Amino acid sequence: MPVKVGDTAPDFTLPAQTGSTVSLSDFRGKNAVVLYFYPKDDTPGCTAESCAFRDQYEVFKNAGAEVIGVSGDSRESHQKFAAKYNLPFTLLSDKGDQVRKLYGATAAFGLFPGRVTYVIDSQGIVQYVFDSMFNFQGHVEEALKTLQQLVK
């Protein structure tokens, strides 16, 4: 079953591009999390999406949220991708797509890893899910709208 609005976001621990490990529970009680699953580092759509998150990163931080990107790429691939595009947020390596499967952010068209963004409040509850393979900017815009409504 895919994770949906109102669900408690499943906890996980994955390696980050920095070499540390990150758990979703690290943010509980502290920050909202914008968790976005994307297919592959350094591809046109994923680069556009990640750079859109980068360009709005301070707005997300000011809204009390941390941005975290997840794909099946290696930590080393994430390091190169983050450095190349000056991405200020965490990228997590989900080898084998275990966390992607846990969230139900599986294949688009039955072929490619899906592109799904979850807005998770500071208590760990999913407040919004945006699933679109091609509306890269929409992932950022919808996440920001949701966060701004949570702050009100």
Catalytic residues: 46
**C-alpha 83, offset from chain centre:** 18
The sign of the CA dihedral 133, 100, 106, 148 is: negative
The values of phi and psi at residue 42, to 5°, are 60, 30
Between CA 39 and CA 114 the distance in angstroms is: 6
